[in-house]
Structures are given as structure tokens and as C-alpha cells.
Amino acid sequence: MAVMWVSVLITMINILLDYLFIFGKFGFSEMGIRGAATATNISVIMGSIVLLGLIFQDKYRQRFQLLSAWKFDKQIFNRLVYFCFPNGLRLFIDMSAFTAFLMFIGTLGTRELAASNIAFNINALSFLPMVGLMIGVAVVVGQRLGEKKPQLAEKAVWSAIHIALTFFGVLALLYLSMPKIFIYPFTLNGGLSDMEGSVEMIVVLLKFIAFFGMFDALFLVFLGALEGAGDTRFIMKMSFIISGLLLIVPCYLYIEYFQANIYVLWLIITLNVIVYCFVFFMRSL
């Protein structure tokens, strides 16, 4: 709970400093994008200082032996590398594939790239909470398996599935029924006015998100379950195959040899998410 409130504090500080630094309010110089970067850095540093103060409270300092257990432990280090390195590599592969996907979109034109970026920004409303749920699933599954209670681990996964489907189901209905409410902030101050048809394009992309987002939410739950079970090497291998061979390669071939269309590229990433969801579901059984 403390971590959540620190995150809220970081966000509030960031918003305040963004207003002051970007627009030059209350005597500050107008710095634009440089002001946004400065605000982010200051808020993160302040949040880190608060977290450092919290972790060194007496109850945590004694419980985790923060002042005495700092020495290098080869056995623990090797276990961390064994479980964490594949997971880190998985994240690198997925982010690289997603970046490549946006680069492929960018070859179609500025309008297509802007529309895709806005659609993914809107999708963050559903994606980021699901990432939080994924982390929670990984923690609970790991704890229950460590206690030799696999039935409770399975129950936690199904509870998370119910939460994910309910949460994203509501957002999916909103994406479909009133998409322009989500697009409106991006049109303020003349935004998108120089890109004819961009709003209509984003509306269509939100329909893609409303469909594949359900599979994405489920995938994140299954991913958390597998991470909690320590199955990180399987996750890494599947990420290479699915993100690399089933996303980057088809997008490249389509861009290179066909008259490319943004909606076909989004269909490819939609199929990619569905495959991810199915494979990780089967592994979780």
C-alpha cells in the first residue's frame, strides 16, 4: 500500500512540475519538452528518496537485515540470474518487437504513426492496470507454491482472470461506444487538425484494441502465473518465437512485398496477441 501512495505522490509532483516547467508558470522559464523531462526526473528522484526512507524504517531494517545482509552471496546471485535474466531478456525482446512494429507503421506515413501512437496511449488505460495485476499474480502464485499450496495458486489465477475480464470488458465497451471521448484530449489546441482522417482512423484502431485487449489482459495474467512459478526460460523462448518470428517477420514481409495498409499491420499484431494468450494459457494448465 505504501508503494502505491508513493507512486501517487510521484505522479502529483510530476503533474505540478510539468505545468510549471512546460508552460513557464509562476516565474519559471517556459521549457517545453525539456521542462517535461526535468519534471519527470525531479519527481522520480523525490519518490526514490521517500522509498529509501520507508525501507530503512526499523521494522523493515531488522526484518530484512538491510545493514548486515548487504555482502555478495554467490548462491543467491546465481538464483537471481537463473530466474531473472530470462525474464529481463523476454521484456527486451517484446519491447524491441513493439518498437519495430511502430517503425513499420511509420513507413506508411505520419498520420498512420500518429494514430497508432495515440491508440496505444489510450490503451495504456487498460494495459497498465493489467501489468499491476500481473505482478500481483506472480507474487501470490510464488507464495502459494512456496507454501506447497498449488490449489490456492490456481484459485488466485482464476480470481485474476475474473478481475481482468471485468475491468477490460467495461473499457472495451467504452472504446466501442464512445471512442471520441478518449481521442478528445489529443485534439486540443488544434492537435490532429493537420492530419485529415486521423480521428476516424483512431476510432477504427480502438476497435482492434477492444478486441485484442481482452486476450492481452488474459495473457498478462498467465504470464504472471508462469513468472510466479519460475518458468521464466519457457517465457523467454516463446517471446523470441512469437514476438520475433510471428510479429516482426510477417510485418517486414508485408511492408516489403505488398501495398501496405495500416489495418493489416494491426491485424498481424492482433493475431500475435491471440497466439501469445493461447500458448501461455496452455502452459499454465
Grid cell locating 9: 505522490
Inform me whether the pLDDT recorded for 144 exceeds 90: yes
186: pLDDT confidence band, cut at 50, 70 and 90?
Answer: confident
* CA 23 – CA 187 distance, rounded (Å): 18
pLDDT of residue 30: 87
DSSP string computed for the chain: -HHHHHHHHHHHHHHHHHHHHHHT-TT----THHHHHHHHHHHHHHHHHHHHHHHTSHHHHHHTTTTTS-S--HHHHHHHHHHHHHHHHHHHHHHHHHHHHHHHHHTT-HHHHHHHHHHHHHHHHHHHHHHHHHHHHHHHHHHHHHTT-HHHHHHHHHHHHHHHHHHHHHHHHHHHH-HHHHHGGGGGGGTTTTSTTHHHHHHHHHHHHHHHHHHHHHHHHHHHHHHHTT-HHHHHHHHIIIIIIIIIHHHHHHHHHS---HHHHHHHHHHHHHHHHHHHHHHH-
| Cβ-defined contacts of 125-129 (< 8 Å, 24+) | 125/171, 125/182, 126/167, 126/168, 126/171, 126/209, 126/213, 126/217, 127/213, 127/216, 129/167
Task: State mean pLDDT over 62-82.
Answer: 83
- Computed over every residue of the chain, the mean pLDDT equals 91
57: pLDDT confidence band, cut at 50, 70 and 90?
Answer: confident
164: pLDDT confidence band, cut at 50, 70 and 90?
Answer: very high
Inform me whether the pLDDT recorded for 2 exceeds 90: no
Return the residue matching grid coordinates 510466479. 228
User: Could you give the percent of the chain with pLDDT greater than 90?
Assistant: 72
Q: Where are the domains of the chain?
A: 1-71, 79-284
Inform me whether the pLDDT recorded for 181 exceeds 80: yes
Inform me whether the pLDDT recorded for 94 exceeds 80: yes
- Type of residue at 33: I
Return the residue matching grid coordinates 511492408. 255
66: pLDDT confidence band, cut at 50, 70 and 90?
Answer: confident
Inform me whether the pLDDT recorded for 195 exceeds 80: no
147: pLDDT confidence band, cut at 50, 70 and 90?
Answer: very high
> pTM of the prediction?
0.84
